[in-house]
Amino acid sequence: MKPAAAVTAYIGVGANLGDAIASVRHAFDALRQLPSTRSARLSGLYRSAPVGTDGPDYINAVAEIGTVLSPLDLLQALQHIESGAGRTRPYRWAPRTLDLDLLFFGEDRIDLPSLTVPHPRWHERAFVLLPLAELAPEKVPAARVAALAGQVISRI
């Protein structure tokens, strides 16, 4: 039996509580260790203001992985990594110790109650577009980046 071909997935990584830089780096290490997942790449780190809420600035990045996990198995693994980092969900857009969003899973379009891919707001967030453009510039049209020029973000 031929092994399943790896799918390239992009994951938004963010944190704004505690040592957010360390949390993002720890998440990246955890992504590299996922079963049925090959090497991963991480964009540079960015500092951004929260969108849609108040709170401390976020540290954001995007990770690219190759995996043979199913989308739902990958989602479950991401949520496990978040839980291990102390993530709680007291309310929508609450500050968080770690946030992992499955942005893209190959070219798949998924619309389930527990998972929507591509992520429904990926194109509205400079903290996704700028790091994603480092790893997959073909996914990020310059016009989209220009449209978000008012969002506060800087590479660190």
Of the candidates 140, 132, 10, 26, the residue with the CA atom closest to the CA atom of residue 67: 10
* Cβ-Cβ contacts under 8 Å for 27 (sequence gap 6 or more): 13, 15, 63, 81, 85, 98, 100
Q: What is the pLDDT of residue 3?
A: 57
Q: What is the pLDDT of residue 12?
A: 97
Domains of the chain, start order: 7-155 (3.30.70.560)
Q: Which entry of 32, 47, 87, 89 is annotated as an active-site residue?
A: 87
Give me the mean pLDDT over the 122-143 stretch. Answer: 94
Q: What is the pLDDT of residue 54?
A: 76
The per-residue pLDDT for range 62-103, each reduced to its tens digit, is 999 999 999 999 999 999 999 887 766 655 665 688 999 999
Annotation marks residue 99 as catalytic: yes
Give me the mean pLDDT over the 130-153 stretch. Answer: 92
Residue 53 has pLDDT above 80, yes or no: no
Q: Which entry of 29, 38, 89, 101 is annotated as an active-site residue?
A: 101
Tokens of 84: 């291990």
Sign of the four-CA dihedral 48, 26, 81, 128: positive
Annotation marks residue 92 as catalytic: no
pTM of the model: 0.91
